[in-house]
Amino acid sequence: MASSTRQALQAATSALTPLLKSADLKFAEELLSIGVALSTSIQLRNILSDPSGADKAKHGALNAVFGKRVSKEALAFAQHLSGLRWSKGGDLVSAFEQLGVFTVASIAAGNKDLSNLEGELFSVQQVIDSDEALQQAFSSRQASTASKVELIRQLTGNKVSANTELLVRFAVEGARHRRLSLVLEGYGKQVSAFAERLVATITVAAPLEQSQLERLEKVLAKTYGQELNLNVEIDPSVLGGVKVQVSGEIIDGSVATRLNQARMQLA
């Protein structure tokens, strides 16, 4: 991330923070929808991210496109973001997406539902990752966005919270040729980042008991100096033991890995 974009994102996050006290899902949806709209319009994206562009012209463009579609609060916030210095238009699009996720995380935290949001996002990601037909359906360039949104609606139905439903829908709408499961994974990490926790992916051969999870969570929290959100994957191929991945670091204590290491030593 370029320095100018990093500074702009920090400023945008600071500007959003006081708005979170009264923010609702409608406001979060508006931020996400602005991001999606910018991702589909090169002209509008270039106008808003041009560091030499006049604020009056940027505000006029935003008013023309979103004036009747979003709230005054969302429009004013979009105008503020357009006045920041972004290294490229795509960074502004990503900012709206990230801040929309940030808003949903804040709402979930206020309702003491943050852990549920993290878990549901991970579950939807796992469902898609485990089904090749779904992966092909969501990555198809022939299928319309509307049909993909309908497909994800059918998959989630009434099975997830309103917070998760919103993020999953916009993950589809704003995928921009990214793999949907990767977008969802990114959303999950952003939600966990809001809670100032790392995400630990735990791979085991069979489900762990609650007491085992609690002990593992304490050990990892002590190791990394902060709380972690544990996502547990079941993979019979590991045979036994535990494989832990945190921020790209892998702690592999699985039986399968130890057997492979033994074979290599005997070869």
Q: Is 86 exposed, middle or buried (0-12, 13-18, 19+ CB in 10 A)?
A: buried
Residue 267 has pLDDT above 60, yes or no: no
177 Rama class: left (phi>0) / alpha (psi -120 to 50) / beta = left
Which of the residue ranges 100-104, 208-212, 249-253 would you say has the lowest mean pLDDT? 249-253
Are residues 125 and 187 in contact, defined by beta-carbon separation less than 8 angstroms?
no
Higher local confidence (pLDDT), 32 or 203: 32
What is the per-residue pLDDT for 197?
A: 65
* More confident of the two residues 259 and 136: 136
pLDDT at residue 90, rounded to an integer:
92
Residue 15, pLDDT score: 92
Residue range 31-37: average pLDDT? 96
Cα–Cα distance measured from residue 58 to residue 47, given in angstroms and rounded to the nearest whole number: 6
Confidence bin at 103 (pLDDT 50/70/90) = very high
Higher pLDDT, 266 or 151: 151
* Res. 256: pLDDT tops 80: no
* Per-residue confidence (pLDDT) for residue 36, from 0 to 100: 95
CA dihedral 2, 88, 70, 169 (to 10 degrees): -80
Supply the pLDDT for residue 173: 94
In DSSP terms, which residues pair with 245 in a beta bridge?
201, 250
Mean pLDDT of the chain, nearest integer: 89
Residue 151's closest CA among 33, 117, 140?
140
Length of the chain: 267
More confident site: 148 or 240: 148
With b for 16 or more beta-carbon neighbours within 10 A and e for fewer, the 110-147 pattern comes to eeebbeebbbbbbbbbbebbeeeebeebbeeeeeeeee
- Alpha-carbon distance 69 to 60, whole Å? 14
Please tell me whether residue 209 adopts helix, strand or coil conformation.
coil
Dist CA 83 CA 202 (whole Å): 42
Taking the C-alpha atoms of residue 165 and residue 126, their distance in angstroms, rounded to an integer, is 15
Report the chain's terminal Cα–Cα distance, integer Å: 45
249 with 209: CB under 8 angstroms? no
Can you tell me the mean pLDDT for 133-137?
94
Q: Going by DSSP bridges, is the β-strand pair 198-204/228-234 parallel, antiparallel, or unpaired?
A: parallel
Cα–Cα dist 237/239, whole Å? 5
Q: Mean pLDDT across the stretch 94-115? A: 92
| pLDDT greater than 80 at residue 247 | no
Q: What is the pLDDT of residue 205?
A: 86
- pLDDT value at 213 more than 60: yes
Question: What percent of the chain has pLDDT above 70?
Answer: 91
Using one digit for the tens of pLDDT, what is the confidence trace for 167-209?
999 999 998 888 999 999 999 999 988 876 667 888 888 888 8
| 189 in Cβ contact with 118 (< 8 Å) | no
Q: What is the arithmetic mean of pLDDT over 55-79?
A: 96
**What pLDDT score does 257 carry?**
67
Question: How many angstroms separate the CA atoms of 74 and 148, rounded?
Answer: 26
Give the per-residue pLDDT at 263. Answer: 61
